[in-house]
Amino acid sequence: MKRRDDMPSVLSNFNERSFCSMRREYLEDIKNWRNAQMEVLRQWKPLTEHDQKKWFELISTDDKQIIFAILGPSLPGSKEASGGLIGYCGITNLDTKNRRGEISFLVDPERVKDEKIYRDDFLSALYMLCRYAFESIDLNKLFTETYVFREYHIGILEEFGLKADSILRQHEFINGKFYDSVIHSILCDEWPGVKERIDNEPGK
């Protein structure tokens, strides 16, 4: 796997969304968004400002994860200007020997409520993550774990081109109940076909 260089301010653009380096000014929004969506994350207690500062210090130096802020269009009817922070994503649990990493993705919960916007946000992030992982840092595989009750999220993964590898039975205990998790992945040699299909879609 290639060593990553210092990330530029704006790393990638696709479908009105872009990746940029994580900044301290984004930490409060991300903390609030994570705390509002704990049921879909591997997070068992609300994050504090101190937690966020420690996380920012960690991702700034840890070679096992690469985290991007996502900038994008504002919600319909919003007074916020387009091009602001809408979420974050990245590659965690980087394994340089086996050239694999885990997909991380989260957006403002208000965007999650609009299925079309959420789909566009997620598909765009997946495209930019795959392009970065397979074309810039020479990974062989990206994978992700999703709780089975997130049916719409799973549908977007499979629409993009990730394949279901396995089900981890009763893998997470959430709100007094055990839930299965689904593992999806995409391989480097599958990416060119996925990219060509997306690039040739009408409107792209």
Task: Identify which of 39, 34, 69, 68 has the alpha carbon closest to the alpha carbon of residue 49.
Answer: 34
Give the pLDDT confidence score for residue 7 in this predicted structure. Answer: 44
Give the pLDDT confidence score for residue 46 in this predicted structure. Answer: 85
4 confidence band (pLDDT: 50, 70, 90): very low
Residue 77 confidence (pLDDT) above 90? no
* Chain segment 36-61, per-residue pLDDT in tens: 988 888 777 888 999 999 999 999 88
Distance of alpha carbon 104 from alpha carbon 34, whole angstroms:
12
Residue 105 confidence (pLDDT) above 90? yes
Q: Which CATH class is domain 10-199?
A: alpha beta
Give the tokens for residue 129: 């993550």
In the predicted model, what is the mean pLDDT of the chain?
91
Distance of alpha carbon 19 from alpha carbon 72, whole angstroms:
9
6 confidence band (pLDDT: 50, 70, 90): very low
Give the pLDDT confidence score for residue 67 in this predicted structure. Answer: 94
How confident is the model over 28-40, as a mean pLDDT?
A: 91
How confident is the model over 94-120, as a mean pLDDT?
A: 96
Long-range contacts formed by 100-104: CB under 8 A, 24+ apart:
100/139, 100/140, 100/141, 100/142, 100/143, 101/66, 101/133, 101/139, 101/141, 101/142, 101/143, 102/142, 102/143, 102/144, 102/145, 103/129, 103/142, 103/143, 103/144, 104/65, 104/67
170 confidence band (pLDDT: 50, 70, 90): very high
**pLDDT greater at residue 64 or residue 6:** 64
Residue 176 confidence (pLDDT) above 70? yes
